[in-house]
């Protein structure tokens, strides 16, 4: 196998592939999942709920900065915020950017075609309850996946 | 002398907003000619019922014919019906070229008789199109309208000029103004100067404009710098706007109205700007700056006007800023003291800070995007009205403040805004306040 093939084998080839893998991973962890959930004029890739806890996940094949920027709006409503990245071993500096903000990081390993926690998120203590309630009213109109 | 508060009439859906905070607030209404061509009866009813003075100007929108035909056609290539009606009203050469080719200045200069005829028809359109249905309207039976139904001023046909087209368009624009001066009769006549930002920021180009138009003998000017967002504009553009306004106004001899202006223009029209403008117009929604060629509507999003920033901010940004300042964590009283104590905010909050989220109320819809169907949140009508009521309340106080406060107080307010919000909004979020101060104080 060539060098290029080995490189692509470790990373998600598309957002679709990453999402498929993520949905299966979250399901196995006991989450109920909704996709493309609007929040404050943007759309979160995944909102996963377990019990009363709400986790926002932005999934990107490789664009960390965009994921970080999108996560900013979720701070008003999410209990936990995560970035799922389509690389097997992201740079430490990228992980640090996420963890400094309390975000969790989910990595992708296409060798085993599975996602795994690289860093678990911290509870977001900065949510604003009135905004969360407003957002949650709209959430009821969105079906769970699977 | 006061800062005249004009509002632009965008769509009929917006007409209900002209009563906020009350209809006496607005000096007058600016109506686009294509709207007047399309729905004269509706506009007549609007002016009679929703405005206090019936004072209006019709922008002849003649620049619409100089752009690529795609600017006036729909997706199937058909000329939009309102534009077609406007072309019919103006006659040749517009009927012949609309939707087929852009108007060029030499067409207007080559056939003097046709240009004379077109200017005459354009002025008649402004005199009659809305005035006649106003007089004939049922509501008018009980009113003593007299000459009130005439437009506040006639506007000579005009065309958009950039740095590269200035030399070609100026003779045609001047010719239109000269003919209009001959034909204006007892009406006031305004010329409309619509230029690219490159013209506004280029001192030589500005001089050409002023030399060409300031001495023509019109009663006033409408001024429009293409897509000049005062919040993002640099000092060159803002200085250019101010210089153009002062030059056209001739030291108070003539009216100068910025067709699409924000707080910088309002200050320029007030004490701090030494009355560089006589009036400023804005739309009820996204009307503080406007591109000459529309670039599409985009998704409507809720915006909250932060009074001390003098900027309409996306709801999510307003939320982040106000939370960073802890003004959504104390009491409604504190919110009104620090953020806004307008009637609309008091009504929405009703004493409970949690109700601030009503400004961001949304509904979910599925819309087609490049990647397929996606779900998006759209502001509810109620949220839009709340944001607008608040915005229009604050705007009214901005006009009053710019008109009557001392320069020191106005500058102090800009500096306080900067000091208060720099931490929460970042330097980019407050830098406009410093630029405005520097330009208006003549230090930039």
C-alpha torsion B109→B113→B118→B123, nearest 10: 110
> B225 and B125, same structural domain?
yes
* Residue for token pair 């500005």: B206
- The pLDDT tens digits for A103-117 are 999 988 767 678 999
Question: For a pLDDT cut of 90, what percent of chain B falls above it?
Answer: 80
Q: How confident is the model at residue B146 (pLDDT cuts 50, 70, 90)?
A: low
> B272 and B210, same structural domain?
yes
Give the residue from B152, B123, B154 showing the smallest Cα distance to B47.
B152
Domain enclosing residue B380, as ranges: 303-404
Contacts of A76 in chain B (CB under 8 A): 316, 319-320, 323
Contacts of A128 in chain B (CB under 8 A): 319, 323, 328, 357
Single pTM value for the model: 0.91
List the single range of A71-75, A107-111, B9-13, B91-95 with lowest mean pLDDT: A107-111
pLDDT at A5: 32
CA distances from A67 to A22, A43, B324 (A): 15, 12, 22
Which of B316, B356, B375 lies closest to A40 in CB terms?
Answer: B316
> B186 and B227, same structural domain?
yes
Q: Do A73 and B299 touch (CB under 8 A)?
A: no
pLDDT at B300: 62
Q: How confident is the model at residue B286 (pLDDT cuts 50, 70, 90)?
A: low
> B95 and B165, same structural domain?
yes
Which of B354, B355, B364 lies closest to A141 in CB terms?
Answer: B364
Whether B439 is in a domain gets the answer: no
Cβ–Cβ < 8 Å for B288, B230: yes
Residue B372, min C-alpha distance to chain A (Å) = 12
> B256 and B173, same structural domain?
yes
Integer Cα distance of B27 and A56 in angstroms: 49
Domain boundaries, chain A: 3-139
- The pLDDT tens digits for B97-128 are 999 999 999 999 998 999 999 999 999 999 99
Residue A48, min C-alpha distance to chain B (Å) = 17
Residue ending a domain, choose from B248, B282, B316: B282
Q: Do B320 and A138 touch (CB under 8 A)?
A: no
pLDDT at A1: 34
Residue B194 belongs to domain with CATH number: 3.20.20
- Stretch (H or E) spanning B66: none
Ranges assigned E (strand) in B135-250: 154-155, 160-161, 189-195, 220-225
With 50 as the cut, is the pLDDT of residue B263 above it? yes
Integer Cα distance of B245 and A107 in angstroms: 58
Fold that domain A3-139 belongs to in CATH: Trna Endonuclease; Chain: A, domain 1 (3.40.1350)
Whether B422 is in a domain gets the answer: no
Q: What is the mean pLDDT of chain A?
A: 86
CA distances from B228 to B11, B165, B196, B260, B290 (A): 22, 19, 9, 8, 7
Q: What is the mean pLDDT of chain B?
A: 93
> B175 and B221, same structural domain?
yes
> B342 and B251, same structural domain?
no
- Residues B20-49 as b/e (b if ≥16 CB within 10 A, e otherwise) read bbeeebbbbbbbbbbbbbbbbeebbbbbbe
With 60 as the cut, is the pLDDT of residue A3 above it? no
- The pLDDT tens digits for B54-73 are 799 999 999 999 999 998 88
| Count of domains observed in chain B | 2
Residue B30, min C-alpha distance to chain A (Å) = 31
Instruction: Output the CA angle B134-B138-B141, nearest 5 degrees.
Output: 85
> B101 and B221, same structural domain?
yes
Integer Cα distance of B407 and B440 in angstroms: 10
Integer Cα distance of B194 and B191 in angstroms: 10
Residues in CB range of B6: below 8 A, 6 or more apart: B26, B27, B28, B29, B30, B57, B257, B279, B280, B281, B282
Integer Cα distance of B353 and B336 in angstroms: 10
* Residue for token pair 């169907």: B373
> B315 and B253, same structural domain?
no
Cβ–Cβ < 8 Å for B45, B65: no
Interchain CB contact of B118 with A (< 8 Å) = no
> B318 and B268, same structural domain?
no
pLDDT at A110: 67
pLDDT at B396: 95
Contacts of A141 in chain B (CB under 8 A): 364
ipTM: 0.82
Residue A109 tokens read as: 């390993």
């Amino acid at each position: 196998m060539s060098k290029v093939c080995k490189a692509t084998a470790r990373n998600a080839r598309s957002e679709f592939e990453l999402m498929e893998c993520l949905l299966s991973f979250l399901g196995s962890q006991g989450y109920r999942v909704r996709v493309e959930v609007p929040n404050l004029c943007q759309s979160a890739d995944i909102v996963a709920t377990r019990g009363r806890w709400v986790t926002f996940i932005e999934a990107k094949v490789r664009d960390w900065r965009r994921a970080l920027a999108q996560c900013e709006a979720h701070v008003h409503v999410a209990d936990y915020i995560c970035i799922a990245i389509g690389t097997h071993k992201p740079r430490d500096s990228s992980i640090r950017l996420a963890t400094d903000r309390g975000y969790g990081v989910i990595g992708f390993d296409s060798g085993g075609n599975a996602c795994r926690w690289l860093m678990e998120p911290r509870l977001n203590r900065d949510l604003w309850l009135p905004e969360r309630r407003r957002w949650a009213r709209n959430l009821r109109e969105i079906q769970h996946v699977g | 002398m006061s800062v005249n508060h004009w509002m632009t009439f965008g769509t009929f859906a917006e007409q209900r907003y002209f009563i906020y905070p009350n209809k006496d607030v607005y000096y007058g209404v600016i109506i686009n000619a294509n709207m007047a061509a399309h729905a004269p009866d509706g506009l007549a009813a609007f002016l009679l019922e929703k405005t206090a003075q019936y004072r209006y100007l019709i922008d002849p929108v003649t620049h619409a014919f100089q752009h690529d035909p795609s600017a006036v056609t729909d997706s199937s290539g058909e000329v939009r019906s309102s534009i077609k009606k406007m072309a019919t009203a103006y006659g040749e050469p517009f009927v012949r070229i609309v939707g087929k080719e852009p108007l060029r200045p030499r067409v207007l200069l080559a056939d003097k008789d046709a240009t004379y005829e077109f200017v005459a028809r354009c002025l008649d359109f402004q005199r009659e199109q809305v005035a006649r249905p106003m007089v004939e309207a049922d509501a008018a039976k009980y009113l003593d309208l007299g000459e009130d139904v005439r437009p506040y001023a006639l506007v000579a046909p005009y065309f958009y000029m950039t740095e590269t087209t200035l030399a070609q368009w100026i003779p045609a624009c001047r010719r239109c103004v000269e003919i209009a001066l001959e034909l204006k009769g007892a009406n006031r006549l305004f010329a409309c100067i619509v230029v690219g930002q490159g013209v506004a920021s280029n001192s030589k180009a500005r001089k050409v404009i002023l030399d060409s138009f300031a001495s023509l003998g019109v009663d006033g000017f409408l001024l429009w710098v293409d897509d000049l967002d005062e919040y993002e504009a640099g000092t060159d553009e803002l200085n250019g706007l101010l210089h153009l306004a002062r030059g056209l106004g001739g030291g108070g001899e003539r009216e100068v109205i910025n067709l699409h202006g924000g707080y910088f223009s309002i200050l320029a029209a007030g004490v701090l700007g030494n009355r560089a403008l006589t009036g400023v117009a804005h739309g009820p929604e996204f009307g503080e700056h406007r591109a000459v060629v529309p670039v599409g509507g985009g998704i409507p999003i809720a915006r909250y006007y932060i009074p001390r920033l003098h900027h309409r901010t996306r709801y999510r940004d307003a939320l982040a800023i106000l939370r960073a300042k802890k003004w959504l964590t104390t009491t409604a009283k504190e919110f009104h003291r620090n953020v806004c104590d307008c009637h609309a905010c008091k009504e929405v909050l009703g004493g409970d800070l949690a109700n601030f989220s009503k400004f961001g109320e949304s509904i979910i819809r599925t819309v087609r995007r490049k990647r397929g169907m996606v779900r998006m949140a759209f502001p509810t009508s109620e949220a839009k009205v709340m944001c607008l009521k608040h915005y229009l309340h604050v705007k009214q106080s901005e006009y009053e403040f710019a008109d009557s406060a001392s320069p020191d107080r106005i500058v102090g307010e800009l500096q306080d805004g900067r000091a208060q919000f720099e931490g929460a909004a970042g330097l980019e979020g407050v830098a406009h306040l410093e630029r405005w101060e520097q330009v208006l104080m003549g230090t930039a």
